[in-house]
Structure 1
Amino acid sequence: MKLTIYHTNDIHSHLHEYARITEYLIQERPKLQHHSLYLDIGDHVDLSAPVTEATMGIKNVELLNAAHCDIATIGNNEGMTISHDALNTLYDNATFDVTCANVFDEQGRLPRNMSSSFIKVIDGVRILFIAATAPFTPFYRALDWIVTNPLAAIKDEIKANEGAYDLLVIMSHVGVFFDEKLCQEIPEIDLILGSHTHHYFENGEINNGVLMAAAGKYGHFLGEVTLEIENNSIIKKEATLHPVDGLPEVETHFDEEGKMLLNDSVIDQPISLPRRTDTITQTAHILAESIFEFTNADCTIINAGLIVNGIDAERLTEYDIHQMLPHPINAVRIRLSGLELKNIIIKSQKQEYLNEHAQGLGFRGNIFGGYILYNLGFIESESRYFINGELIHDDETYILGTIDMYTFGRYFPTLKDQPTDYLMPEFLRDIFKEKLLEY
């Protein structure tokens, strides 16, 4: 028996590219003289796309249906960028199976419409599919989910299905280093379909007898794995990638659809909100003020590049605000000492990333931009630092209201280990919009 498994991962709502993948699948799968499956390994949903934002990911599920997806799992974008209720209803109309072994609610239940693993029988061959997602614990807890150790969850599912399957396929949205560890810890795995770290293998990679396959990001590739099976065991396994440039071209209108769905007015009068990354604009000041008030903090630090687009129009719509702040970034409250806060201020004034092209950590802009301080002051020559005009004392505790991307260690390593409250599910654009309504 021969089985072809097509796979995508980390589409991140690059829907035109995904439409090309879909067209290829619709054309090519019926031509095969053997069975095939199509699996998506998570982060298909990304609210940086207006049509995804407007439908809270439902549009993406419709597109997976149209592509005749067989099995999907969730990435951190499905798990953490939409509300608890939205994840519970995301797959209500899915025509494919959804599985993930390591996300539960506080009563120990999986998200609705999901199974902890899935067995599919093809010509008498029993294939066990187990999926796990990256354990961003504080974010999941802020949304009333519990995310468990993915390795332990996978091992538990294997044990629970002992004797019930012939082949073992892992759908991993945890990253390539985790997948390499899986190969060493569980060499009986036949195939790992990887994701999360946006890696890809042109022809797969064999690690301790396990075939690892992954298809990069943003629909740049469609992955294809071919398994040859005899006596319920794999005798040959191969992987390849199809670059999107070689797939059928299609006409799409996702941007127009998203703009139409987000056409409601927020402010119904002329408005100008400029965008600059090298100086403090009114727009950036309003954003900083909105985060300061939303977090109920003592002070706030943000970067100007969070404002991706300016606006100068007769009215302001939901679409406009989305385009200004398309990130899946949340506000946070960080508790730190006065001495640590002073060091953060000093580091911010170096403006190390003023003109840097930034990516990752949820950032959906281009230039990082300069830092903006709100309710903070300093006299650098005298090493004196102030909150609301009062001197900052080294041994006192203060609350910094800022953004979650600063807690990952890239820009302010000190903040990575501080006590932090993640304020979810509101994004920056939601906070900013509420502040604009006061003007």
Structure 2
Amino acid sequence: MKLTIFHTNDIHSHLHEYARISAYLAEARPKLTHPSLYLDIGDHVDLSAPVTEATMGLRNVELLNKAQCDLATIGNNEGMTISHEALNNLYNDAQFDITCANVFDEQGQLPNHISSSYIKEIDGVRILFVAATAQFTPFYRALNWLVTDPLQAIKDEVNAQQGQYDILIVMSHVGIFFDEKLCQEIPEIDLILGSHTHHYFENGEMNNGVLMAAAGKYGHFVGEVTLEIENKTVVNKTAKIHPVETLPDVETHFAEESKRLLSEPVIDRPVNLPRHTDSISQASYMLAKSVFEFTQADGTIINAGLVVRDMIADQVTEYNIHQMLPHPINLVRVKLSGKVLKDVIIKSQKQEYINEHAQGLGFRGDIFGGYILYNIGLIESESRYFIGDEEIQDDETYILGTVDMYTFGRYFPMLKEQSIEYLMPEFLRDIFKNALLT
């Protein structure tokens, strides 16, 4: 018997590209003379897309239904960028199965509609699907979820299903380096469908007898794996990807739908907030002030590029605010010594990324922009640093209010080792909107 598995991952609400993939699957699957499945490996949802924001991911689930998805797992965007309640309701109308073995509530229950593994029988062959997602513990805890070690969760689930399956497929939203380790730890895996690190393989990659397949990001590719099975055992396995440019083009109207869904007026008066990334503007000053007030910090640092678009309108709608601040970025309170705070200030003055094209870590803009400090001052020529009008003392403790992407190690490595409180589920745009209203 042959089985073809189509797979997508890290769509991140690039819905026009996904519509092309859906159209391709609708053409390709009926042409096959053997069984097929379509699996999504997580991060289909991304609230940087207005239509996803407006529906808290429900529109994405509708599109997965339309594409006749058979099975999906969750990525960090489904798990961490929507509220606890929203994740519990995300799959209420799903016409496909969902599995993930390592996310639980405080009572030890999986999110609604999600199973710890899934067994599907095709022509007498039992296929076990086990999935896990990346272990971003502080974020999940802030949303009242517990996320366990993905490797141990997969091992436990495989052991629990011993004797119940013939073929083992892992849906991994943990990343390529984890997948490579998985090949060594559990070589009886037949196939790993990977994601999270946005990698792809043109023809798959064999590692310790395990076939790894992945389809990049943003709907750039759809993956296709073919398993040849004899006597309930995989005897041959191949993988390839189809670039989106080769798929049917389709007409979509997500932009118009987004404007309609987010048309509610927030401010019924003209607002003029131009965007500047290389200098402080009224928009970035107001954003820094709103971060300062929300975090109840001693001082705040942000980057000007967080303001992605001007807000110049006679009436401000939810759509305008989303376009200005599309990031799935949360705020943090970082407890640190005066000495470390001085190091942060010194590093910020180098403005290393002011003209850098940046992406990732939740940032959904283009130019990173210059750093903006609020309630933090310095006399550089005298190496004196201030919170308000008080000089910073090395051995005193301070609270820095900032954005979560600064705590991951790239921009301010010294923050990664500090005491960090993640403030969720509010995003930057939620906080800025409240500031506009006051």
Normalising by the smaller structure, the TM-score range is over 0.9
Structure 1 residue ranges (4+ consecutive) displaced by more than 2 angstroms after TM superposition: none
User: Could you say which residue in structure 2 is the equivalent of 1:129?
Assistant: 129
Matches of 2:213 and 2:378, distance apart in 1: 52
Structure 1 residue aligned with 2:380: 380
How far the C-alpha of 1:325 sits from its partner, in A, is 0.3
Shift of 1:312: 1.3
Aligned to 1:81: 81
SS at match of 1:433: helix
Gaps of 5+ in 2: none
Query: What residue in structure 1 maps to residue 10 of structure 2?
Result: 10
1:393 has 2:393 as partner: yes
Alignment root-mean-square deviation, CA:
0.4
Match of 2:291 in 1: 291
Corresponding residue for 1:336?
336
- Correspondence for 1:216: 216
Q: Percent identical across equivalent pairs?
A: 76
Q: Distance in 2 between matches of 1:199 and 1:387?
A: 43
Q: Whole-Å Cα distance in 2 between the matches of residues 382 and 244 of structure 1?
A: 57
Q: Distance in 1 between matches of 2:349 and 2:150?
A: 40
Q: Which amino acid aligns with 1:10?
A: D
Between the aligned partners of 1:419 and 1:312, the Cα distance in structure 2 is: 38
Q: What is the DSSP-based 3-state SS (H/G/I as helix, E as strand, rest coil) of the residue aligned with 1:3?
A: strand
Is residue 233 of structure 2 the alignment partner of residue 225 of structure 1?
Answer: no
- 1:388 is displaced (CA, Å) by 1.1
Letter paired with 2:273: L
Quote the residue 1:150 is aligned against: 150
Q: Residue 181 of structure 1 aligns with which residue? A: 181
- Scaled by the length of structure 1, the TM-score of the pair is 0.99
Deviations 1:114-159 (A, max 9, x none): 0000000000000000000000000000000000000000000001
The alpha-carbon deviation at position 255 of structure 1 amounts to 1.1
How does the TM-score come out when normalised to structure 2?
Answer: 1.00
CA distance in 2, matches of 1:173, 1:6: 16
Q: Could you tell me which residue of structure 2 aligns to residue 434 of structure 1?
A: 434
Does residue 32 in structure 1 map to residue 32 in structure 2? Answer: yes
For this pair of structures, how many residues does the alignment match? 438
Report 1:315-326 matches (<5 A): 315-326=315-326
Secondary structure at the counterpart of residue 153 of structure 1? helix
Aligned partner of 2:106 in structure 1 is 106
Tell me what 1:205 maps to. 205
1:291 maps to a residue whose letter is: V
In the other structure, the counterpart of 2:60 is: 60
Measure the CA separation in 1 of the matches of 2:427 and 2:310.
18
C-alpha distance in 2, partners of 1:173/1:209?
20
Q: Distance in 2 between matches of 1:397 and 1:119?
A: 53
1:231 & 1:159 partners in 2: Cα distance? 22
Q: Which amino acid aligns with 1:22?
A: S
Q: Secondary structure at the match of 1:26?
A: helix
Shift of 1:200: 0.2
Cα drift, residue 259 of structure 1: 1.0
Distance in 2 of aligned mates of 1:80 and 1:200: 24
